[in-house]
Amino acid sequence: MENNIIKGRKGGGSKQRTPTEQPDDLQSVAKAKILLALGEGEFAGGLTGKDIYLDGTPLENADGSQNFSGVSWEFRPGTQAQTYIQGIPGTENEISVGAEVSSKTAWTHTFTNTQLSAVRVRLKWPSLMKQEDDGDVVGNTVKYAIDLQTDGGAWQTVLETTVTGKTTSGYERSHRIDLPHAGSTWTLRLRKISPDANSVKVGDVMTLQSYTEVIDAKLRYPNTALLYIEFDSSQFNGSIPQISCEPRGRVIRVPDNYNPETREYTGVWTGGFKWAWTDNPAWIYYDIVTADRFGLGNRLSSANISKWTLYQIAQYCDQLVPDGRGGDGMEPRYTCNVYVQERNDAYTVLRDFAAIFRGMTCWNGEQIVVQADMPRDVDFTYTRANIVGKPRYSSSSSQVRYTNALVSWSDPDNAYADAMEPAFIPELVSRYSFNQLEMTAIGCTRQSEAHRKGLWGILTNNKDRVVEFDVGLDGRIPQPGYIIALADELLAGRVNGGRISAVNGRVITLDRDVDAKPGDRLQLNLPSGISQSRTIQAVNGRRQITVTTAYSETPERECVWAVESNDLFLQQYRVTGVKENGDATLTITGVSHDPDKFARIDTGAIIDQRPVSVLPAGNQSPPDDIVITSRSVVNQGSASKRCRLTGQRSAALLPTRRSGAVTTGTGLMCRAARPPRLRSAAFMPVVTWFASVRSMRRRSRAAGRIPKRKP
């Protein structure tokens, strides 16, 4: 048997190979260039890196350190002769797309703006690489093309190129496509020529981030404030951040004796203006009315609005009030920090801006009338002597008497996002329960101001008595927003108004007796149509009154007078409407006005309500020295007894003018003194006596003197 020899040898050994990765060699530096139109110029400016924000982060910190690298910016205030900004050769409008372009799906877009000079497309590859079979990660190549169609004609390839390299963090590049002359449209098509790998081992996804419409020109945009900013888009992952800034806005007309920085008015204003920046809402309101480029200046002139009234309102806005943070901190009462971005009806815009200083606006046929709810002297006085008929009072239900308010304002510490400020008055909550008023404080960037506006809304709606009465031709004197005084003796409880019968210097003779004393105030309607008040020095009899200081003009006979004292004030109303009736009379409508609410709002002062009536309350003290007399009456064989109650009035009862009576079920009749025109006070003694008679009846029935009533 043949022996087979088995032969062999040891095989060669080898180490395990580690795959390698090629370093990224594609570095994209995409510069974003943005030109923003901030608004109608001229702006005061004052813009620094601390006032420009990218996605809510300022370019520069308070200590001067930079939050972003490679950022440059320029500002133009919006003057007529401002220079153009270099680096922006034309108008560019970038539109974000963020669409993927594959070899099977191209991106197509039609442009209809025939003023375009070029279109710039911005492409991005989130990753560009491929993994070899041995595990190595290397670069990749993607081929693509851009085609252009003009006015619906044939497609023409204007760009065919490739991108080669490796990146795992994204790569961007942009191409400018010049547009030929066209009659109506251009259509742009972006194609990916390289086939899609559709593999996790290959990164070749191609996206169109945005396209930009370009109009080549060196534009300086006169009368428009501009902000140009340029930055590296890689700091924002290739997207465009939100850009915001806080410049000082428009330079407007302000009085030439006014310092907007210190809010001081020097000397007497002669009516002249100068140009300056201010946040006083009254002068911003004046600018809107008189500006011809964006306001009403092309329809109205400065003669169509009273600058003298706005001067008073502006001073009221600049007055310093406590800032509500404790200590001695003070701040101006009202400021206006608002950015108008949309067109709106002119009256709506004026009304919204007037609301900043608690104002109202109307057109009287010749002028824009603007009034503010602020301390104001009485403009005209009405009594029963100069009105037709009687005043007609009305009031709303308790459902619209607000007890708390929720005010929306813009918080500068939170990127001017809306914040809510609550305000409430505990006494009103206890009386009317929880009834919330929601308000929007336009142009308000201070929490304390929002709180004051909420208190104003509560206190103003709490005084909701409305009066309406007819008058003669003197009804043309008060305009909407004016303050009128009303002396209604029936509501007041005593005579407090009438007409003058004689005048001798400071001695005024009235047409009727009046309960006046030294220290009270005599208010007169003077011949010029104004109302003035003077302190009473002496009273001779009950009609002749001497005042301490002469009136600014000599009163005449038949002028209206009214007396006001610390225990009986005149009613005050703010005029809301004046309507002609066609019969030489006018109807005036007014809403109750509380002149003390301003101190309550600004300083939190506790002030008692002004009494406008001396009539007693519904619960009165019983009369004194009651005397009861009775008599028997026989009628058709049936006897009945009647009693009469008389007594002396107490301090709480009114003078007796007539009596009232009530007959009980037993035939007893009770008569009691009743004052005129006051129902609750009139029937109180009767009800008290009636209860006593019912008690007597029960006791008599129990004793058997009165038979029980049959069912």
Domain 396-462 is found in CATH 3.30.2310:
no
How buried is residue 254: exposed, middle or buried, by Cβ count under 10 Å (0-12/13-18/19+)? buried
Cβ neighbours of residue 609 closer than 8 Å, sequence gap 6 or more: 594, 596
Q: What is the pTM of this model?
A: 0.71
The domain limits of the chain are 31-245, 251-372, 396-462, 466-603, 624-703
- Say if residues 180 and 56 touch (Cβ distance below 8 Å): no
First and final CA of the chain: distance in angstroms?
149
* Mean of pLDDT values over 632-659: 66
Whether residue 282 is predicted with pLDDT greater than 80 in this model: the reply is yes
The CATH class of 466-603 is mainly beta
125 versus 622: which is more confidently predicted?
A: 125
pLDDT digits (tens, 9 = 90+) for 384-427: 999 999 999 998 777 778 999 999 999 999 989 999 999 999 98
Note the pLDDT tens digit of each residue in 191-240.
Answer: 999 999 888 888 899 999 999 999 887 788 999 999 999 888 778 876 78
Quote the CA–CA distance of 458 and 25 in Å, as a whole number: 68
Residue owning tokens 């710039």: 120
Phi-psi group of 677: left, alpha or beta (phi > 0 → left; psi -120 to 50 → alpha; rest → beta): left
pLDDT 10s digits, 606-641: 888 899 998 876 556 677 788 888 888 888 778 887
Tell me: pLDDT of 69 over 90: no
Residue 74 has pLDDT above 70, yes or no: yes
Q: What angle do CA 285, 288, 292 make, to 5 degrees?
A: 155
